[in-house]
Structure 1
Amino acid sequence: MINSRITCAYLYTISKYGYPPPAGDTLQYLDEFKAMGFQSIELEGIREDHLNEVYELRQGISKKVKELELEVPYFCAVLPGLSSDNPKEREHNLELFEKGCEVASALGSVGILDNAPLPPYQFPEDIPVVRHYHEDVILAAKFPENLNWKKYWEQLTSTYREACDIAANYNLTYQMHPALGVLASTTDAFLHFHDAVGRDNLRFNFDTANQYFLKDNLQLSLRRLKDYIDYIHISDNRGKKVEHLAIGEGIIRWDDFFETLDVIGFKGHFGIDIGGDESDVADLDSAYTHAAKFIQEKL
């Protein structure tokens, strides 16, 4: 049985069934997590329709989680509309965020997770329904002509302050996931955002692959963020593009990484986050079980 601090991230399911994977098949996904030997798993509600479906199914999912003796320490609610420049859209997404917190609470989670705020990009269509925004997509985006950055920043941080307070009402931390193109993608950016929001339950979901690609020094970042990290997404990277590779397929210095975790006294969860369309992973199950064994040996 895999150590309960080692979580199977939802990227496993996304890699197998697409983005977003059918919410109605969540009970099947739970069986698959269990069959690989995981005790701890991650689930998601991706944008409005998918999140609402998971919300309606939450009691059945919670029952199955208990039957399989699983834990869901973190539930992810993907809501890019929280950082919209439209006040009504932000308000609507705060309502959806509270639904996400209800799901997290029903699952016994300790935190709710989302990508860090997306700037008010204007894409040729709507915000692309993708996990990560490729450089060419971001470069093709524009901004509203009447965007007043100071006013937008004040509204944005106020919205996230309210989201943190909603999460706190459910005894949840609010985890910010770093990615290319978001406003808290690096250590410096998160610390700036955290100071502006001013809520202790705003946390940083450390992501080894994304931060390595963004040239964040992982050892230094761990030291600087030690008081803000409860959850680490683990995957490898070669430093040239956004990818989430099996351990050993990239060039991250894992011995240095785990030595630094010992230095800062990290006691949280590790989410194995391998795969996705951007990554070349030949055998997904083996990549996850190998990573779990690797992390377990380090622990």
Structure 2
Amino acid sequence: MYNERIVCAYLYPITKYGYPPDADRTVDYLREMKALGFKNVELEGIRESHLQKVYDLKDNIAENIISLDLNVSYFCTVLPGLSLPDKNTKQQQLDLFVKGCEIAKLFGAKGVLDNAPLPPYKFPADIPVVRHYNDEIMSSAYLPFDLNWDEYWDNLINTYRTICDIAKDYGLTYQVHPALGLLSSTTDSFLYFYDAVKRDNLRFNLDTANQFILNDNLTLALRRLKDHIDYIHISDNRGKKPEHLEIGKGIIRWDIFFETIDLINYKGLIGLDIGGSESSIDNLDIAYKNSADWLEKNWLGKK
């Protein structure tokens, strides 16, 4: 089995089976990630119906986590409606978030994780069920003409204080995941957001590929965010579009990145977050294995 600091992210079953993958097959995904050699894994509850299904199955999933001798390091609660100003929508999302925290605690997770807040965009229909808000999707979005930004921001900050407090009640951190088109997805914007929310369990899930495409200098981010990160998503990128490639298949300077990881005395986990429909990967299993082997040889093997 791979070193327990290396986590197989939920992007693995997403890439194999679609977004979201069938929640009924969660135990199968656990078996597949273990068969790759991973002891630590991610699981997710994606939007309303998928998260509810995982909640309904949580006891059976928890039993299988134990029987398979796995650790679920983080449970992702993907609820983009939390950042919307509508009170009814927000309350429904908060109720689901509580269920997500209950799942995470039952699974023994360190924290819950979600994308950074979605700005109060209007879309032609409901919020698209996608992992990334690419240029095509964003071109159809617009801000309401009557938006009062100060009022929206105050409401958003209060919501995320509530979210962090709920997570803390369950003994969890709340990890913000950066991506194109979202608020607080760069070093500067997260630190601004953190200063506003003022909750110690608000953490930044540094994502190498996503921040690289946002031109957020990775080594500078590590230095500036060293007190705010304990979970990092790792994948490579070629600098032209959002994609999540095997380590070494892009142009990220991993030598400098891991020198900085050691410099800041990082003690957290590394999640291999490889794949997605946006990425050109011939063999997903080999990409995960090669990347885990690389980490063990070039990072963990030097300790």
TM-score by length of 2: 0.98
Aligned to 2:293: 293
Q: Which amino acid aligns with 1:274?
A: I
Q: Which amino acid aligns with 2:286?
A: S
Aligned to 1:120: 120
Query: How many angstroms apart in 2 are the aligned matches of 1:288 and 1:78?
Result: 23
How many angstroms does 1:124 deviate by? 1.1
Aligned to 2:191: 191
How high is the sequence identity, in percent, across the aligned residues?
A: 61
Query: How many angstroms apart in 2 are the aligned matches of 1:12 and 1:49?
Result: 20
Q: Which amino acid aligns with 1:277?
A: S
**1:175-203 deviation digits (Å, cap 9, x = unpaired):** 00000011011000100111111100000
Aligned to 1:48: 48
Query: How many angstroms apart in 1 are the aligned matches of 2:59 and 2:225?
Result: 35
Aligned to 1:145: 145
Secondary structure of the structure 2 residue equivalent to 1:195: helix
**1:229-261 deviation digits (Å, cap 9, x = unpaired):** 010000000111000011111000000000000
**Matched ranges for 1:1-299 at <5 A:** 1-297=1-297, 298-299=299-300
**1:10-43 deviation digits (Å, cap 9, x = unpaired):** 0000000000000000011111011111000000
Secondary structure of the structure 1 residue equivalent to 2:53: helix
Q: Which amino acid aligns with 2:257?
A: F
TM-score by length of 1: 0.99
Secondary structure of the structure 1 residue equivalent to 2:69: coil
**1:107-147 deviation digits (Å, cap 9, x = unpaired):** 00010000000001111111110000001211321112211
Structure 1 segments of 4+ aligned residues over 2 angstroms from their partners = none
Query: How many angstroms apart in 1 are the aligned matches of 2:200 and 2:236?
Result: 30
Query: How many angstroms apart in 2 are the aligned matches of 1:128 and 1:293?
Result: 36
Query: How many angstroms apart in 1 are the aligned matches of 2:218 and 2:107?
Result: 31
Query: How many angstroms apart in 2 are the aligned matches of 1:136 and 1:197?
Result: 31
How many angstroms does 1:296 deviate by? 1.4
How many angstroms does 1:64 deviate by? 0.2
**1:214-234 deviation digits (Å, cap 9, x = unpaired):** 000000000000000010000
Query: How many angstroms apart in 2 are the aligned matches of 1:139 and 1:85?
Result: 21
Instruction: Give unpaired runs (5+ residues) of structure 2.
Output: none
Instruction: Give unpaired runs (5+ residues) of structure 1.
Output: none
Secondary structure of the structure 2 residue equivalent to 1:43: strand
Query: How many angstroms apart in 1 are the aligned matches of 2:269 and 2:90?
Result: 30
How many angstroms does 1:90 deviate by? 1.1
Secondary structure of the structure 2 residue equivalent to 1:7: strand
**1:65-96 deviation digits (Å, cap 9, x = unpaired):** 01011001100000000000212211111111
Secondary structure of the structure 2 residue equivalent to 1:275: coil
Q: Which amino acid aligns with 1:160?
A: Y
Query: How many angstroms apart in 2 are the aligned matches of 1:77 and 1:280?
Result: 26
**1:31-70 deviation digits (Å, cap 9, x = unpaired):** 1011111000000000010000000111111110010110
**1:134-170 deviation digits (Å, cap 9, x = unpaired):** 0121132111221100000000000000000000000
Query: How many angstroms apart in 2 are the aligned matches of 1:127 and 1:93?
Result: 13
How many angstroms does 1:98 deviate by? 0.7
Query: How many angstroms apart in 1 are the aligned matches of 2:295 and 2:127?
Result: 35
Query: How many angstroms apart in 2 are the aligned matches of 1:137 and 1:54?
Result: 28
Query: How many angstroms apart in 1 are the aligned matches of 2:131 and 2:137?
Result: 12
